[in-house]
Amino acid sequence: MREYLMPIFVVAALALAGCSKSKSPEDVSKDVAKAEQKANNEVTKSEERAQSALDKSYEKVNNQEIKFNNDAAHQTYNVAVAKADGSRKVAMATCESLSADAQKACRDQAEADYKTARADARASAEAAVQQK
């Protein structure tokens, strides 16, 4: 059994001795340069992937912000129209207490105020809507 173990120990010792052998300064310099280049390439690729991911995320957020602002403009328009409609109904009810000629003028004024309020609401909503 010892006959087989001795050659194994000799081979193992030679292998270990070869592992701890230092390289020449030129070889080390080349290895360091290659390692630095590889590290720089990996960092550059990582930065490019990160920027691409951030650009996509920004585009999604920007689209959601535009959608939100457009929805807000639409809902603001709906509220303004509801207020104008309510004001018209109150004005029309108030007009009922007037005489015939005054009642017609009151109704005409209420209708004109309603149309103006709707037009103002539409103009405000259109101005607030953002285009992509």
Spatial CB neighbours of 66, under 8 Å, sequence gap ≥ 6? 130, 132
Summarised one tens digit per residue, pLDDT across range 2-43 is 566 666 666 666 565 555 567 888 888 888 999 999 999 999
What pLDDT is stored for residue 128 in this prediction?
A: 86
Summarised one tens digit per residue, pLDDT across range 72-106 is 999 999 999 999 999 999 999 999 998 989 999 99
What pLDDT is stored for residue 10 in this prediction?
A: 62
Summarised one tens digit per residue, pLDDT across range 42-75 is 999 999 999 999 999 999 998 899 899 999 999 9
